[in-house]
Amino acid sequence: KYGDSLSFFGGIDQQELLPDGDVDAIRKEIRYRCEVLGENGGFLLAPAHIIQADVTPETVKVMIDAAREFGKY
């Protein structure tokens, strides 16, 4: 019914994935979210909440790089 009028924001787990996930797990999750929620556009990839202090800058870079790689639609 709403089709191209609906957008999604967030979707990336900041409680377990970002602080504890390895590079492959983070990239896999971001790819999945971009494919599922980003189909036909309308998805703004972001952590589901704020990025906590236990998330390293390197992890944030992995998230950003993966978003740039997989978030093209």
* Sequence-ordered strand ranges (E) for the chain: 8-12, 43-47
Of 23, 18, 28, the closest CA to residue 50 belongs to: 18
Q: What pLDDT does residue 17 have? A: 94
Instruction: State pTM to two decimals.
Output: 0.84
* Burial classification of residue 19, based on how many CB atoms lie within 10 Å of its CB (0-12 exposed, 13-18 middle, 19 or more buried): middle
Q: What pLDDT does residue 73 have? A: 66
From first to last of its 73 residues, the chain has per-residue pLDDT tens of 777 788 889 889 999 999 999 999 999 999 999 999 888 788 899 988 889 999 999 999 999 999 999 998 6
Task: Quickly list DSSP for 15-31.
Answer: TTHHHH--HHHHHHHHH
